[in-house]
Structure 1
Amino acid sequence: MTSDRGFTCSCCGQHHAELPTNYSTTAPYAWDPSFAETSDCLLSSDQCVIKAQHYFVKGLIEIPVIGTGDVFSWGVWVSLSRENFARAADLWDSPGRESEEPYFGWLTTDLSIYSPSTINLKTNLHTRPVGQRPLVELEPTDHPLAVEQRTGITRDRVREIAEAVLHSTRDRS
């Protein structure tokens, strides 16, 4: 018996071999490629600094997929205060960092499939053991993304997200 983990897209009719369960962004919403040339800016796969005034850490919004034991995740950026960013950076490679209290932050990733915007949703960033991305916990509001994080999503919703992401025509400039 074979188990097809793929899906047939209702937008294009094409069969995709796998149903993606994670998406990620490379930079916070406020990042501009021209910043890469300046000495007061930094963008790595995990941390970002803009003009030595704005500080960001990449984490995961994890959403349980109901009835499967799977987890869907969004790789997103959270802004932190200078103090919290410095603390997180100091402990980045330290065993036991997961015992830190969560850091308050603001979501700085525009997940365009959600309305209203996901920009500036309140978050708590939970560090996890070295080698694991932090967990981003959204404030429990009625925003659709926060509701999904609390209640989970179906496999059909994962497919809807995949179709929306694969066929997004929205300008993300």
Structure 2
Amino acid sequence: MNYTAQAPAGWDAALADAEGCLLSSEQCVINAQHYFVKGMIEIPVIGSAEVFSWGVWVSLSPENFSRTADLWNTPGRESESPYFGWLTTDLRLYPRTTLNLKTRVHTRPVGERPSVELELTDHPLAVEQRTGITLDRVREIAAAFLHPTGDGPW
């Protein structure tokens, strides 16, 4: 019920040892100029108590990234106001790119990834987040990961 991207769009393995670059399981910095955090786009599954989620990367301003890092292990950090960000994960299962969709990143308690709320648009991913998906849609997504074709689901 969860699929996660390993790195934001724009990351290249050649950057791994470059100065000003970092990729961890939760944060990424590219050339000390672009800052990202991993969060979860949660989608209700219609007729189920379960939630489907995409583990995605969202860009943050340098100030908001720094604030997030400062609060990383601080109890109560979930009271922080949401941060604006751009979605930087291309989920190719959608008919239109998911890159650069506007988001609000909601900090959660220590140990939990942020929740990513998409702007209210007609993009299919944003619609799914608002209205939910069926179990058949979950199976369709799973099949795309188990039997990728072409470039795969990312």
* Fold shared by both chains (TM-score > 0.5): yes
After superposition, the C-alpha distances for 1:117-138 in whole angstroms (9 at most, x for unaligned) are: 0000000000000000000000
Kindly report the root-mean-square deviation, in angstroms, between the aligned alpha carbons of the 2 structures: 1.1
1:71: which partner in 2?
51
TM-score after normalising by structure 1: 0.86
* Partners of 1:170 and 1:104 in 2: CA distance: 33
* Partners of 2:89 and 2:78 in 1: CA distance: 23
Match 2:123 to one of 143, 153, 163: 143
* Partners of 1:146 and 1:165 in 2: CA distance: 21
Provide structure 2 residue ranges, at least 5 long, that are not aligned to the other structure: none
* Partners of 1:90 and 1:132 in 2: CA distance: 16
Q: Secondary structure at the match of 1:111?
A: coil
TM-score after normalising by structure 2: 0.97
Aligned residue type for 1:139: E
1:168 aligns with 2:151: no
What's the CA shift for 1:165?
A: 2.1
* Partners of 1:97 and 1:106 in 2: CA distance: 21
Provide structure 1 residue ranges, at least 5 long, that are not aligned to the other structure: 1-20
After superposition, the C-alpha distances for 1:58-114 in whole angstroms (9 at most, x for unaligned) are: 000000101111000000000000000000010011001000000000000010101
How many residues in Structure 1 have an aligned counterpart in Structure 2?
153
Match 2:40 to one of 57, 60, 67: 60
